[in-house]
Amino acid sequence: MFQNEERVNTYLESICDDENALLRSINRETYLRETMPHMMSGHYQGRVLSMISKMINPSRILEIGTFTGYATLCLAEGLKENGELHTIDINEEQEERVQSYFDNSRFAPQINYHIGDAYEIIPTLVGSFDLVFIDADKKRNLIYYNMLIDKVPSGGVLMIDNVLWKGKVFEDNPDNQTKQVLELNNTLARDSRVEKLILPVRDGLFVLRKK
């Protein structure tokens, strides 16, 4: 988004609040152990997610796409005292390590970690969600959105990550994956059930407020 994106990110991270020790550890271990560590929200976006969650102060949060749990713990910072967070990921190989991160956090009793296909798990979750964060299989983003919009009450917020798709949404001849992102963005732009905007945070964060 900027000519010197790394320099901008370094500056933004220097201005916002620090990561706590657990988040720093997750950040470090993700870059040491994962083949695609950039999938993690990271320091600055993590603070954005935390800030939004704290402003909403949700009773229930749903996250689609746990990865190594960094964003999960940032979102949990805004939970009401007796609130709960459900997070879904299909990668069972990471389950033990990610669960250990949750167990070492003060939010352990509030986090429900589901392993499996979100398409199958979402219908089993009873009740509404004040805050939803979708950061998983990009081909299914619109499917997840349509599955969840009726589970979000008026005033609730849905967020979808990676909607600028490394700047490819601005290209004249987009590839098939980029076309799917553009279809999502254009469909949400026309959805009268929500107020919406895209924050140019990292790879683009779509924020939608249910009317």
pLDDT at 141: 96
Specify the higher pLDDT residue, 4 or 116: 116
CA distance 105 to 122: 25
Residue-wise pLDDT tens digits, 87-100 = 999 999 999 999 99
Residue 140 clears pLDDT 90, i.e. is over it: yes
Angle at 89 between CA 168 and CA 176, to 5 degrees: 25
Average pLDDT value for residue range 25-33 = 96
3-state class (DSSP) for residue 177:
helix
Average pLDDT value for residue range 120-148 = 96
pLDDT at 189: 97
Residue 3 clears pLDDT 70, i.e. is over it: no
| Amino acid letter for position 100 | S
Give me 111's structure tokens: 């986090």
Average pLDDT value for the chain: 95
Average pLDDT value for residue range 22-38 = 95
